[in-house]
Amino acid sequence: MTRPADIFRTLTHGVYVIGVADGKKHNAFTAAWAMQVSFDPLLLALSINPRHRSYPMLKAGGGFTVNVLATDQLDLAAHFGQSGNIDKLADIPWRPGKCGAPILEHALSWLDCDFHHECPAGDHIVVFGRVIGGAIQRLGDPLLYRDTGNLDAAQDLFPPSL
Ligand SMILES: Cc1cc2nc3c(=O)[nH]c(=O)nc-3n(C[C@H](O)[C@H](O)[C@H](O)COP(=O)(O)O)c2cc1C
């Protein structure tokens, strides 16, 4: 019998660092659950655990950035996957997007989004953002979620069978 965790690993996701800001406070977290959901308007959706420190900052700041990681940036995926009251941006070069959310200088590419709306989704909240800016910053291939192993410890969160 195939485990649900292994079936879900065949879904294709990238790995992103989502930047948020609330005034002078900034933070960022690693996310795999982000995707384009509309052309007109140009919308992105990301699924965020509301218990993350980033969630109230995203709501207060009214926007977020999506920084796309490259295959050689697994260390950044691990770094921004950390929780707790630490300054994850301390030694990372970044600049603010429109609402102040961090754009990482070394990301493969980035998108800047205004908060559009949100929907509850079980233990997460799906946040929709309207894309207002973005750029490709360097050459490279995007990091794939399936190549991060069990970095997010998600395997333990799936039921053992369906
Ligand atoms: C590879 C990877 C993918 C992740 N994907 C998501 C995601 O899509 N949504 C989410 O809410 N958390 C995701 N996480 C977990 C958060 O990055 C993690 O809980 C982080 O500590 C939250 O940071 P914060 O509390 O500073 O906001 C992921 C973590 C990793 C390592």
Classify residue 162: in a domain, yes or no.
no
Q: Is the CB of 30 under 6 A from ligand 1?
A: yes
Bin 122: left if φ > 0, else alpha if -120 < ψ < 50, else beta.
left
Edge-to-edge strand list for the sheet holding 124-136: 25-31, 16-22, 63-68, 109-121, 124-136, 43-48, 34-38
Classify residue 55: in a domain, yes or no.
no
CATH number of residue 17's parent domain? 2.30.110.10
Q: Is the CB of 31 under 6 A from ligand 1?
A: yes
**CA triple 101-135-96, angle to 5 deg:** 20
Helix (H, G, I), strand (E, B) or coil at 1: coil
How many structural domains does the chain have? Answer: 1
Q: Which domain holds residue 126?
A: 11-50+61-138
Q: What is the pLDDT of residues 121-158, one digit of tens each?
A: 999 999 999 999 999 999 999 999 999 999 999 999 99
Classify residue 3: in a domain, yes or no.
no
Q: Is the CB of 32 under 6 A from ligand 1?
A: yes
Q: What is the pLDDT of residues 41-84, one digit of tens each?
A: 999 999 999 999 999 999 999 999 999 999 999 999 999 999 98
